[in-house]
């Protein structure tokens, strides 16, 4: 996939629908995700926000009953096109999951995993990538003396930053985050939020969160979803201070959800 046709928008979603078997989970979504900004997707449980996120790197296809209609373009290329290899898409669009999920390997091996599966074998190159990625995830100083220890010995917040470092190691363009702090304590959450704000300079970030304050704190744009529909999508300040849709207002003022 060539990136010389960089448009302002990383993803363009048009008339997108998704079904689990016969249940429609996403209805007719149109949205454009801007480059080098943080886009938050909020909404009550079961509104389809995680489903939408997992569609962007086609992880949703690991569920066999899923089928879709409409179009999603990544840098003007249709991600559902026949010639599009999902493995390639996922090296451009990385993902950080809800629960920290490091591999039961050393910290070094965790971060080097991505480069290794993509064929990098030289120790020196791998060393450089590992250091750069750990620095990028603001955890280098905490782990530089114990790179060969098992990642399971770290705290939950540290594990999640290792997972972010692991994602950075494949040098993605976009990072998808699926409620990355929901399993963490407030201090770890704060650190991750600070990290996300820094990452924005080099990456486009799409973050799903059920925490409205978090969306308000860190994101540039916010999308509100309800029952599989995109209710409102605008600048975060605008959405929280002056929502256009009655349902958005009800949700952010805590009347339901």
Partner 1 sequence: MSTKVNSAQIKGRVVRNKAFKSLFIAATSIALIFLALLIYRILSQGIDYLSIDFLRNYPAPYIEEAGIFAGLMGSIFLISITAPVSIILGVSTALYLEEYAKQNRFTRFIQVNVQNLAGVPSIVFGLLGLTFFVYILELGYSLIAGALTMSLLVLPVIVVASQEAIRSVPKELREASIGMGATKWQTIWRIVLPASIPGILTGSILALSRAIGETAPLIIVGAAAAIYTIPDSFFSKYTVMPIQIWSWTSRPQEEWQYVAAAGIIVLLIILLCMNAIAVWIRNKFQNRF
User: Which positions lie near partner 1, rule CB under 8 A?
Assistant: 57, 59, 62, 64, 86-91, 94-95, 97, 99, 101-104, 113-114, 116-118, 150, 152, 163, 166-167, 170
Q: Which residues does residue 78 pair with via DSSP β-bridges, in sequence order? A: 73
| 88 vs 198, beta carbon nearer partner 1 | 88
CB 233 within 8 A of CB 223: yes
Tokens of 245: 């849709």
Q: Which residue carries 């009953």 as its tokens?
A: 65
Identify the H or E element spanning 76.
Answer: none
> What is the sign, positive or negative, of the torsion defined by CA atoms of 153, 159, 161, 165?
positive
| 65 vs 213, beta carbon nearer partner 1 | 65
Q: Which residue carries 């791998």 as its tokens?
A: 126
Smallest separation (angstroms) from partner 1 to the CB of 236: 26
Smallest separation (angstroms) from partner 1 to the CB of 222: 24
| 147 vs 164, beta carbon nearer partner 1 | 164
Closest C-alpha among 174, 202, 219 to residue 79: 174
| 49 vs 58, beta carbon nearer partner 1 | 58
Smallest separation (angstroms) from partner 1 to the CB of 158: 16
Smallest separation (angstroms) from partner 1 to the CB of 133: 12
Tokens of 204: 């486009």
| 199 vs 239, beta carbon nearer partner 1 | 199
User: What's the CA gap between 65 and 30, in Å, rounded?
Assistant: 23
Smallest separation (angstroms) from partner 1 to the CB of 89: 8
* Residue 95 CB burial class (10 angstroms; 0-12, 13-18, ≥19): buried
Smallest separation (angstroms) from partner 1 to the CB of 113: 7
User: What's the CA gap between 18 and 230, in Å, rounded?
Assistant: 13
User: What's the CA gap between 246 and 21, in Å, rounded?
Assistant: 31
């Amino acid at each position: 996939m060539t990136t010389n046709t960089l448009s302002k928008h990383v993803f363009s979603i048009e008339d997108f629908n998704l079904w689990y078997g016969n249940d429609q989970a996403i209805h007719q979504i149109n949205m454009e995700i801007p480059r080098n900004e943080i886009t938050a997707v909020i909404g009550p449980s079961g509104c389809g926000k995680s489903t939408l996120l997992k569609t962007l790197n086609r992880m949703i296809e690991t569920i066999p009953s899923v089928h879709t209609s409409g179009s999603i373009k990544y840098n003007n290329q249709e991600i559902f096109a026949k010639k599009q290899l999902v493995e390639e898409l996922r090296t451009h669009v990385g993902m950080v999951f809800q629960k920290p999920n490091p591999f039961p390997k050393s910290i070094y091996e965790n971060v080097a995993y991505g480069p290794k599966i993509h064929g990098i074998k030289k120790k020196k190159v791998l060393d450089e990538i590992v250091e750069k990625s750990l620095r990028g995830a603001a955890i280098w100083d905490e782990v530089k003396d114990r790179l060969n220890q098992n990642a399971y010995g770290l705290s939950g917040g540290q594990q999640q930053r290792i997972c972010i470092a692991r994602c950075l190691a494949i040098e993605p363009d976009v990072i998808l985050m699926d409620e990355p702090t929901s399993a963490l304590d407030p201090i770890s959450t704060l650190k991750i939020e600070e990290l996300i704000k820094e990452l924005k300079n080099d990456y486009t970030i799409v973050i799903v969160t059920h925490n409205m304050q978090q969306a308000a704190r860190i994101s540039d744009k916010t999308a509100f979803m309800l029952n599989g529909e995109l209710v409102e999508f605008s600048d975060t300040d605008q959405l929280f201070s002056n929502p256009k849709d009655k349902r958005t207002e009800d949700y952010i003022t805590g009347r339901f959800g």
